[in-house]
Amino acid sequence: MSELEYSNRLKDLFTSIMDHDIKNYLTSILGYSTLLSHSSSGDAQTYSRIIEENAKKINDLITDVRTFSQIQDADLAKKMAAQDLSRLVKPVVDELKSKAEKKQIELKLDIPPGRYRFDGLSLISEVFRNLVDNAIKYSGRGAPVEIYAEDRGDKFVFCVKDQGAGVPAAYKETIFNRFERLDYHIKEGIEGSGLGLAIARALTALHHGKIWVEDNPTGGAIFKVELPRSRA
């Protein structure tokens, strides 16, 4: 894909997000606001919650779009710095802890400090945040989420293991492809929501790594991100 084609596709993607996702969220916000003005207090609580959730979804989408634009910044490669996986993942887990607790989900973090070092952008935290956030979203009540890493010689693999419904074989590849599958998106609607996994793939590629999903042998999914270790 040439740079021009790429930037045109990106523009189309953003337009389709504005057209589809944001309009759907606004439909809920405006619709429930109308109901709110003449509803009982019990209903009002539910409607307010839905309005708040949909407004947050719009905010998350705008953040995602901004992250995606940052990835297009050619100077990013120059901003790579020495990173320690543990130092990037811990704040993400701390931040998502309260969200997990609402579903009584324990986030089991096992990544020793200093063991997995790589050259990269702090922006790659977005990949870790997205995977842990998804694991919480798709896990049932009380099902723990494990966050760990595996040694692979001059590389390492960051893993997020959940006990949710898992990812059907037909979607194992396409869930990372919202960007490439723009035509499908426009014609058929969206599988899943948000740009998170497409961003995760783009960011991982920028770090010369790869991302994929495997079945958890005991049920659920394991999302894996392989990154090259720093040479020093």
Partner 1 sequence: MNTKKIILVDDDEDILGLLQIIFAEKGFEVKTAAGGEQLFQIRGTFVPDAILLDMMMPKMSGEAVLQKIREDRAYDKIKIFFLSVLILPEDQLDTFQKKYKVSGYFNKPFIKNELINNILNALG
Nearer Cβ to partner 1 (32/156): 32
Nearer Cβ to partner 1 (26/77): 26
Q: Which residues contact partner 1 by CB under 8 A?
A: 19-20, 23-24, 26-32, 34-35, 50, 53-54, 186-191
State in angstroms the smallest separation of the CB of 43 from partner 1: 8
Q: Residue 94 is which amino acid?
A: D
User: Rounded to the nearest 10 degrees, how much is the dihedral formed by the CA atoms of 118, 122, 124, 130?
Assistant: 130
Start-to-end CA span in the chain (Å): 34
Nearer Cβ to partner 1 (60/214): 60
Strands 145-152 and 107-110: parallel
Nearer Cβ to partner 1 (20/103): 20
State in angstroms the smallest separation of the CB of 22 from partner 1: 9
State in angstroms the smallest separation of the CB of 74 from partner 1: 33
CA nearest to 109, candidates 81, 124, 87: 87
Distance in angstroms (rounded) separating the CA atoms of residues 26 and 28: 5
Nearer Cβ to partner 1 (81/169): 169
State in angstroms the smallest separation of the CB of 91 from partner 1: 31
State in angstroms the smallest separation of the CB of 54 from partner 1: 6
Residues 6+ apart with CB under 8 A from 141: 103, 104, 105
